[in-house]
Amino acid sequence: MSHNHKKNNRRKPVGEELPVDQPQEQPEDLEEQTSQIIQSGSVTMTAAKHVIHCLTIVGQIEGHYILPPQNKTTKYEHVIPQLVAIEQDPSIEGLMIILNTVGGDVEAGLAIAELISGMKKPTVSLVLGGGHSIGVPLACSAKQSFIAPSATMTVHPVRMNGLVLGVPQTLSYFDRMQERIVRFVTDNSGISSKDFRRLMMNTGELVMDVGTVLDGEKAVQAGLIDHLGGLSEAISCLYRMIEKKEKGAKSAVRPKKWRAQTMILHSVTPIWAMQQMMAEQSEQPTTVLLSETAALQGRIQNGQLLVERSFPRPARFLRQELSPGKTR
């Protein structure tokens, strides 16, 4: 009696095996990302071409007063430390801001927008759903901004809840606050102050309010947003910005060029030494150039230092023969 042993040709579920060169995220990494999303609405994506941090600004921007628990809010005291940490973290290469907000506290929103606009790292914003009221400066604060075709943005004047005193000082305060918003938006986008104020004071569009509602295409045409697109376009733009920054950093570091006894001046030259050489170029034929590895003495001709003496130990040379701002 013979038994036919059939081979088990059952295919393994998709995702059970990964290519050797593709890293598989550990369970603890996924748990950490999930916890980060739940607590702060943000996540750092490491298993990609570049390490970017995704920050979401949703619901209402909460200011100095706590909103009711049924409101979905973004708390500025949570976002501000995150932005500082992102800017200081060398492992994070760029920041992606996802916006779907109805607006909120003016000063809290402007504080977040100012921090984003002052970051040196590449930043890209993407408006999904809506970027209304103070969400407009937040969308403009990134170096490049995107908006989905179905998203909308509402531009309207500043308003205040609670007790308002009917005195001229109140109107002056409103005017100054509105001027801060107009100046920030026009400085960080392509719209002019005149056009932005016209959209803000439009009385023929909203039934119960003053202002203008712009869809994605109109927001780009007005100059508020840079590009019309979605997530893939925004990430591609952020990658290009990161790679351009890396390429610029590499090209800025150039090796020293030696030609016989001639050294071409580079950015590694200390500022005080460069200033001293330029100031004395026509008066003193002898000057000193210092770097981390060498101290050179010579004459400047046509923007080049003709070396006459070299000192292999610049620290010792500094202590004995030279102090900043002097030449021999």
Q: Name the residues annotated as catalytic.
A: 133, 156
- Amino acid in the structure at residue 82: Q
Concatenate the DSSP letters of all residues of 256-292 into one string.
--EETTEEE--TTS-HHHHHHHHHTTTT-S-EEEE-S
* Tokens at 292, concatenated: 């981390």
How many CA atoms are closer than 13 Å to the CA of 17, on its beta-carbon side? 4
Phi first, then psi: what are they for 122, rounded to 5°?
-60, 135
Q: How many helices (H) and strands (E) does the chain have?
A: 10, 14
Longest dimension (CA), the chain: 111
Distance of CA 96 to the CA centre of its chain: 9
- Amino acid in the structure at residue 188: N
In angstroms and rounded to an integer, the radius of gyration of the C-alpha atoms of the chain is: 29
Distance CA 131, CA 190 (A): 17
Angle between the N-to-C axes of helices 168-187 and 106-117, in degrees from 0 to 180, rounded to the nearest 10: 30
Phi first, then psi: what are they for 13, rounded to 5°?
-60, 150
- The secondary structure element, H or E, covering residue 191 is none
